[in-house]
Amino acid sequence: MSKEQQAVACARRAFETGRSKSLEHRIRQLKNLQRMFTERQKEIADAIKKDLNKSEVGTQLYETLGLEGEISLAIRKLKEWAAPRSVEKNLLTLSDTVYIKPEPLGVVLIIGAWNYPWAVTIQPLIGAIAAGNAAVIKPSEVCVHTAKAMEDLLPIYIDKELYPVVTGGVPETQELLRQRFDHIFYTGNSVVGKLIMEAAAKNLTPVTLELGGKSPCYIDKNCDISIACRRVAWGKYTNCGQTCIAPDYILCEPSIQDRVIEEIKKSIKEFYTDNPKTCTDYGRIINQRHFKRIMAMLEDSTIAVGGENDESDCYIAPTVLRDVKPEAKVMQEEIFGPLLPILSVSGLDEAIKFINKGEKPLALYVFTSDDKVIKRMVDETSSGGLLANDCLVHYSVSSLPFGGVGNSGMGCYHGKFSFDQLSHLRSCLIKQLKMEGVNSMRYPPHTPKKLGWARFFILKTVDLGWVGRMALLAVLAVVAAVVLQNYLL
């Protein structure tokens, strides 16, 4: 048995004991996870520093703070989320108990990416635990030190049989994908996303795919360009541009391009000093393979700001590219690095057309003081999320579903959405063996009169208080008696 098979078998056995289902167990595990982030902050930050040169404060701000918030929310709301959810009834089911019961799916495979390794791996785990599942956790091998930290720390804090960690690269992930799971939650690029779906299809395993793509950013000439550019610069250069929802490129009218460049340059200096290379808040490209990939995108574009780089240190300065053509290399794939191309459009109409020509993005940003511009973007485009006059922050709102659409992914999570995504929402209808008369309308011989009754009973939905329900029940009893007399006696 391979170590991957062993991990899956172990998680399956542990799930079958039934212990992951009890709410006390789920809450205990979530509290332990919370404790890990308090007690091991230093080890977590040290590992990320080695992987991506993130500062300790940056790690808390962009990774662990959000996780702590999600854990607290899940602990606070779990009883409510896991409770049976009553639903509206029609007249036929008025006297029945009709509800949705969220139940665990079983064993979930979580495959993480490297750019915010804790956030994208632990956030689905919070949902898996809250929903009562077992989970096999596969951190990205690309963030070497963090993967090791997860392998070492998680078993100390949470049930290591229910939530085993498997480390390794592509062969190990592929071996995991040959096993049978009840859900696969993948974060990463869309090429691998397709492989995940293919593997999942063999067992009809449902998938959540958290992918990326080119997230556009339209800056309207009618806005405070200085503030807009400050927010765009923050969204772009945080984590050295290696953020799935970073604004990938800017669309604006040629008349404001110079101003946009100047303002972004000012913000780069404000955030990262004159020399970002020595600034503790400026990250590094994850490895030399990605460094080369990003540098190759610069070939046919004009640098307006930045461009300095150092391969031995995986450093690329915050860079702005001007007058970029749609055919340029930098526009052919998600950049996932600190290059910010600016493309000219004649106005909102052309921006919308340009966005709609591409794949549906994970995020879409619009900066404007004109509500009509925002409304047109909302109405005339599609994306995983849309943000007006800011970048990234929608990720931090637990009441918003986070996820892509089309090429940027499927399924969503955060807050209650994580719980629902990793639960089966089971339909339950509990009837008594009484009032058989009402059923006569569905039994053969079928007649137009019975159909008439069926139309009345089925098409009426009921939204009444209990007094109304009691009155209706009484009416229903009379109707049942009449029907009984007409058809059965």
The overall longest dimension of the chain from CA atoms, in Å, is: 93
Q: Is the separation of the CB atoms in 129 and 22 below 8 Å?
A: no
* Distant-in-sequence, close-in-space partners of 30: CB < 8 Å, separation ≥ 6: 71, 74, 75, 78, 126, 129, 130
Q: Is the separation of the CB atoms in 348 and 267 below 8 Å?
A: no
**CB of 432: closest distance to ligand NAD in angstroms?**
47
**Contact track, ligand NAD, 129-158, x by CB under 6 A:** ---------x-xxx----------------
- Any contact of residue 103 with ligand NAD (CB under 6 A)? no
Q: Is the separation of the CB atoms in 423 and 375 below 8 Å?
A: no
Choose, by CB under 6 A, the member of 14, 136, 149, 244 that binds ligand NAD: 244
d(CA 133, CA 208): 15
Comparing CB distances to ligand NAD, the nearer of 189 and 203 is 189
Going by C-alpha positions, the residue among 181, 155, 157, 159 that lies closest to residue 167 is: 155
Environment class of 463 (CB within 10 Å of its CB; exposed 0-12, middle 13-18, buried 19+): exposed
Comparing CB distances to ligand NAD, the nearer of 138 and 231 is 138
Of the residues 63, 161, 210, 334, which is catalytic?
Answer: 210
Choose, by CB under 6 A, the member of 51, 210, 248, 263 that binds ligand NAD: 210
Choose, by CB under 6 A, the member of 409, 411, 415, 437 that binds ligand NAD: 409
- Any contact of residue 405 with ligand NAD (CB under 6 A)? no
Comparing CB distances to ligand NAD, the nearer of 215 and 257 is 215
Comparing CB distances to ligand NAD, the nearer of 4 and 334 is 334
d(CA 421, CA 133): 12
d(CA 233, CA 264): 6
d(CA 366, CA 50): 35
Q: Which range of residues in 96-104, 189-197, 263-271, 312-320 is near ligand NAD by CB under 6 A?
A: 189-197
**Contact track, ligand NAD, 351-370, x by CB under 6 A:** -----------x--------
Tokens read off for 75: 């602990």
Q: Is 43 a catalytic residue?
A: no
| Residue whose structure tokens are 């791996």 | 121
- Any contact of residue 187 with ligand NAD (CB under 6 A)? yes
- Any contact of residue 67 with ligand NAD (CB under 6 A)? no
Q: Where are the alpha helices (DSSP H) in 342-447?
A: 348-357, 371-380, 415-421, 436-439
**CB of 62: closest distance to ligand NAD in angstroms?**
12
Tokens read off for 266: 């000012």
Comparing CB distances to ligand NAD, the nearer of 197 and 303 is 197
Comparing CB distances to ligand NAD, the nearer of 184 and 480 is 184
Paired sense of beta strands 183-187 and 207-210, if any: parallel
Q: How many helices (H) and strands (E) are present in the chain, helices listed first?
A: 18, 19
Q: Is 210 a catalytic residue?
A: yes
Going by C-alpha positions, the residue among 240, 213, 239, 195 that lies closest to residue 333 is: 213
**CB of 79: closest distance to ligand NAD in angstroms?**
28
Of the residues 244, 252, 314, 391, which is catalytic?
Answer: 244
- Any contact of residue 334 with ligand NAD (CB under 6 A)? yes
Provide the binding-site residues for ligand NAD, judged by CB under 6 A. Answer: 111-115, 120, 138, 140-142, 169-170, 173-174, 187-189, 192, 195, 210-212, 244, 334, 336, 362, 404, 409
Q: Which residues are catalytic?
A: 210, 244
